[in-house]
Structure 1
């Protein structure tokens, strides 16, 4: 069950607090299934090769994986480095909270509420920047010459991006019936 927040309702999933912060509720931040990565993105044997990478349900919804995203920074695009106590001031635009498994059409997604504090990112979201991409560490387990499984997923940040690898479904939603694929 989602948390209750106080603010002016902009849409079924977006509120604005009296201070002007944006609360994006029930945001799919990650999903199970296969996604494609270039070898250079994870140390694959062929840097420009395309690899099918599976995110197994047991790994995405593992208690430690879910807990690892709780309280993590929300960023405007991915930083070139992990977000740490030494650099969070440059990258942190909000916070990820109430991380949980989705239900219904989002049962294959990790869902969270995003509280956005940064005025520039709030303006971008209101203008339509909505897709989400998580920054994380994991183990890359080869399953064939061109396939891997991601194991032991541990969150570092959640980025609001122009175009995320996980597709349009993993995005800030406007309405209750928003079922982008």
Structure 2
């Protein structure tokens, strides 16, 4: 795991080439306070949401032989690079100087020389950017316990391996841990936590937290804002869907009302049956055809064609055909011959013989001598 820590520097001077050289304490034993998000970002050990995680660095971690070798010739950066730190792929872009090779133990600390070589970084230093923060890797053993001095801790570190040393405006250790400051080591068991706090505004309230805490707050604030946008998007989409569904329901209601309006009462049905019977009666009076399955307009058209032929209505409108049908009906009602045959059709048991029966009767009675 890549961690960051604050260190102090002393014996600052400028060289003839314009470089800035100093000595820095880059590591110490004891307990350091970290955020849960730094130590357990994936919450594998249930520490991510813990405000402060106490990390113990025993002498076996800080002064391990491999650890002591790793403090030498480490690159310096102007701000922590993030990710996996500095390596051969990004060194040229990130390095502003380096630590030296004279690594020594200084009580509970490890001290190394350093040199700032980049002009811009030196300008930043002269403008007040003087705090130092160490970036290092170490195995974190998630096991709580107690130091020889009786201090409780949540986990402890294996041998440390330094990656880089960063020039910062605000480092974890606070403004007293800076280049050119001979302030003694931080209080035993921790660093100047209060000195490294930042003030951020959360929902209108001022909150003091570390740089890492501020980053976490910014991330959560953005997530909440994004969640608000997503909720609004979903709400708007839901409202549109409801409006569309309401429109469909209103259309269905209108269709139902239309169907209800088209429903016929018993009286209406009787009227339509009577009208249908009258139409078929008129049609048969003109032309005795089969009109089953035909609509009213089709019946009128069939009658007109039967009496007058197709040419009579070719290209004519339905209103014209209806008028011709009505004229045929009127003519059929005034024709005595057609009326006579209609009477016969109506009473087949009493056919008219135009005097034929009387004539036959006289012939049959002539032998009786009544005729002269």
TM-score range, shorter chain: 0.7 to 0.9
CA distance in 2, matches of 1:59, 1:162: 28
Higher relative contact order (CA 8 A, sep 6+): 1
Q: How does 1:84-123 map to 2 (within 5 A)?
A: 84-97=87-100, 98-102=102-106, 107-123=107-123
RMSD between aligned residues: 2.2
Q: Tell me which of 21, 24, 28 is aligned to 1:31.
A: 28
Judged with a 3 Å threshold, the aligned counterparts in structure 2 of structure 1 residues 156 and 65 are, in CA distance, closer, same or farther, namely same
Query: Is 1:131 the counterpart of 2:131 in the alignment?
Result: yes
Q: Which runs of 5+ in 2 are unaligned?
A: 1-9, 146-152, 187-372
Q: 1:29·1:171 contact (CA, 8 Å) conserved in 2?
A: no
Contact 1:133/1:159 (<8 A) preserved = yes
Q: Which of the numbers 56, 65, 68 marks the counterpart of 2:67?
A: 65
Task: State the shift of 1:91 in Å.
Answer: 1.2
Looking at secondary structure, tell me which structure has more helix per residue: 2
CA 1:55–1:171: 2 relative to 1, 3 Å: farther
C-alpha separation between the residues in 2 aligned to 1:58 and 1:30?
13
SS at match of 1:74: strand
Residue by residue, what CA displacement relative to the aligned partner does 1:19-50 show, whole Å, maximum 9, x if unpaired? 111111x2112222111112221325332312
Please say which of residues 38-47 and 80-89 is displaced more in the overlay.
38-47
Looking at structure 2, the residues matched to 108 and 57 of structure 1 have their Cα atoms a distance apart, in angstroms, of 8
Mapped partners of 1:170, 1:57: distance in 2: 21
CA distance in 2, matches of 1:164, 1:13: 20
After superposition, the C-alpha distances for 1:121-175 in whole angstroms (9 at most, x for unaligned) are 112222332222211111101232961111121111111222322455643234x
Query: Is the deviation greater in 80-89 or in 160-169?
Result: 160-169
* Count of residues paired in the alignment: 163
Instruction: State the alpha-carbon separation in 1 of the partners of residues 143 and 176 from structure 2.
Output: 26
3-state SS of paired residue (1:40): helix
- Find out whether 1:79 has 2:81 as its counterpart: yes
Matched residue, 1:48: 49
Contact 1:75 1:159 in 2 (8 A): yes
- Do the aligned residues in 2 keep the contact of 1:131 with 1:171 (CA within 8 Å)? yes
TM-score, length-scaled by structure 1: 0.80
Q: Distance in 2 between matches of 1:63 and 1:130?
A: 30
Work out which of the two has the higher radius of gyration on C-alpha atoms and give 1 or 2.
Answer: 2
Structure 1 residues 48-106: Cα deviation after superposition (integer angstroms, max 9, x where no partner): 3121001112211112111112111011121112211110122111011122212xxxx
Give 5+ residue unaligned stretches, structure 1: 1-11
